[in-house]
Structure 1
C-alpha cells in the first residue's frame, strides 16, 4: 500500500504498556471476605453496607468502565508519526484516517453525520466497556464505547494463517470499522435483539450475516481508498482476499482439528467472506452489502 504520505488519525489511543486493571481492588477484597462475613447477622449487614457504598460511591469497576485518558497518535498532519513512533502503529493510524475519510463522505451523501470510532492499541489484555479481553480474542469492536481494540501482535497471527502483507492488516481494521458503521446505523442492535429471541443455530446465522456485511463494508472502503486516493498497489486486493479466506470459520475449524460444522459458523465460510469483500470492492456501493436479504434465501 502507498500509505506513508497518508493522513494520520487523531483517534488512536496508545495504551500499550498499561495495566489491564484486571484486579477488583477494594471490592475484590470484600468478596474475598464474604464467606466469613456471611456466618453472622452482623456480617451480613457489614457486607451489604460496604457493597452499597462501592456501588454508589466507590471504584465500581464491576459495573462501569473506568475512563481512560486518550493519547492521540498525531495532530492529523501527513507524515507525523503515530504514538510510540513505530512503523506498524503509524500504518494503523493512516488506515484508520482513510476509513474516516471514506465513511464521512458516504454518510454525508446519505444526509447523515459520521462519528468515527476510537482505535485502542494495547498489549496482552485490555479492559473495555465490553469487559476484560485478552489478545487471544483478536481485534474486536466494542459497541458500548464505540472503540476498536487492536493488539499489534495479531499481524503475526495473520502471517501464520497465510495472510501476510500490509493490506491484509488494513482489511482487518476496515472490517472492525465496518462494525462501527453497523452500530451507527442501528443494525447491530436489531441483530442482537433478534439473536436473543432465536435458537442457537438461527442466532449463529444472524451473526454470520452481520460479520459478512462488515466484510462488504471493508470492501467498500477499499474501493474508495483505491479510486480516490490511489492507496492500493498491485497485489493488495489479493492480500485482502487471502485474509478474508484465512479467517473463514471452515478454515479455522479445520486448523483446530475439528470437522467443518456450518451450523456453528459465526463469521462465515472462507468462500462467503471472500465473496462479500469482493462485492463491496467491485461496487463501492453500501446498498450492495445487504447480507440479511441475500442470505435469508439461497446463499451466494
Structure 2
C-alpha cells in the first residue's frame, strides 16, 4: 500500500503507556484544579467530580486524555495517514450529497481505556463507540492478525480502520440508531441478523473508501486487495467460531460469514457507490 508522504490526521489520540491526564467534557484539567476539587469535597461535602465539571466547563463524564503520537512511531503514523485518507474521501462523498462529514477521533490504547460506551478492552479488538464518535484500537491487534489469522499487509490493516470508520458513517446518517431501535423490538436471533447487516454494510463502506482513495491517490499496490479480502474472510463469524469452538452456529452470527464479508467489501471496492451498500434491502447477503 502506498501511504508514506500522504497527509496525516490530527484526530488521533495516543493513550498508550499512560501519561494522560483526566479529562472532563473533552478538556484536560491540571493538578491544581484537582486539588481544589478534593478540598471542596473534604470541607463542603461536594462531589469532586461535580467541582471538576464546573471548573472545566465540561460534562460530568470522566475520561482519560491522551496526547499526540510520537513523530517517529511508524505504526501510529500509518494509522494517522489512513484515517486522514478516510476523512478526505468521506468529506467529498458527503459534500456531493449536500451534507457535512464530521470527522471521528481515533484513540490508540493499550490493555484497557475508558470510553463513553464503557471500558474498552484490547480483547474486544478495534471498535467504534457511537456515544463519543470515537474509534478505539490497540495496535497489538495487528500482531494478532498475523499470528492468529495469518493475515498481513498494510492494506489489510487499513481495511480494519476503514471498517470502523464505516460505522461512524452509519452513525452520522442515522442508520445505526434505526438498527439499534429495531434490534430492541425483536428476539435475539433476529437482532443478531440485523447486526450482521450493519456489519456487512460497514465492510462495503470500507470498500467504497478504498475505491475512491485509489482513484484519487493511487494507494493500491499488487496484492493489496487480496490481502484485505483475506482479512475479511479470516474474521468472518463462521471462521472464528470454527476456530474457537469447533462448530458454527449461524443464528449467533453478529458480523457475517467469511463469504458474506468478502462479498460486501468487494461490492464496495468494485462499485465505489454508497448506494450499492444497502444490506438492509436485499434477500442475498
Query: What TM-score do you get using the length of structure 2 for normalisation?
Result: 0.85
1:108 positional shift: 0.1
How many residues were matched structurally?
256
Is residue 129–residue 142 contact of structure 1 (8 Å, CA) maintained in 2? yes
Superposition deviation, residue 69 in structure 1: 3.5
Secondary structure of 1:192's counterpart equals helix
* Structure 1 residue runs without a partner (length 5+): 22-51, 74-82
CA distance in 1, matches of 2:120, 2:68: 22
Query: 1:11 aligns to what?
Result: 11
RMSD, aligned CA: 2.1
Q: Is the 8 A contact 1:253 1:259 kept in 2?
A: yes
Per-residue CA deviations over 1:63-116 (Å, capped at 9, x if unaligned) read 96314445345xxxxxxxxx3521111100000000000000000000000011
> Are the equivalent residues in 1 in contact too, given 2:50–2:60 (CA < 8 A)?
no
Structure 2 CA distance for aligned equivalents of residues 153 and 235 of structure 1: 23
The structure whose Rg is larger is 1
Q: In the alignment, does 2:130 pair up with 1:143?
A: yes
Distance in 2 (CA, whole Å) between partners of 1:67 and 1:200 is 32
Q: What is the DSSP-based 3-state SS (H/G/I as helix, E as strand, rest coil) of the residue aligned with 2:103?
A: coil
Report the counterpart of residue 193 of structure 2 in structure 1: 205
Distance 1:56 1:68 in 2: 14
Change (3 A) 1:123 1:84: farther
Q: 1:131 to 1:233 in 2, by over 3 A?
A: same
Task: Give SS of 2:100's match.
Answer: coil
Q: CA deviation at 1:163?
A: 1.2
Relative to 1, partners in 2 of residues 1:70 and 1:195: Cα closer, same or farther, differing over 3 Å? same
Q: Does the CA contact (< 8 Å) of 1:64 and 1:129 recur in 2?
A: no
Map 1:87-106 to 2 at 5 A. 87-106=74-93
**Conserved? CA contact 2:20–2:65, under 8 Å:** no
Give yes or no for contact 1:20–1:125 (8 Å, CA) kept in 2.
Answer: no
In structure 2, what is the Cα distance between the partners aligned to 1:195 and 1:20? 37
Gapped runs of 5+ residues in structure 2?
A: 22-44, 54-58
Q: Does 1:228 pair with 2:216? A: yes
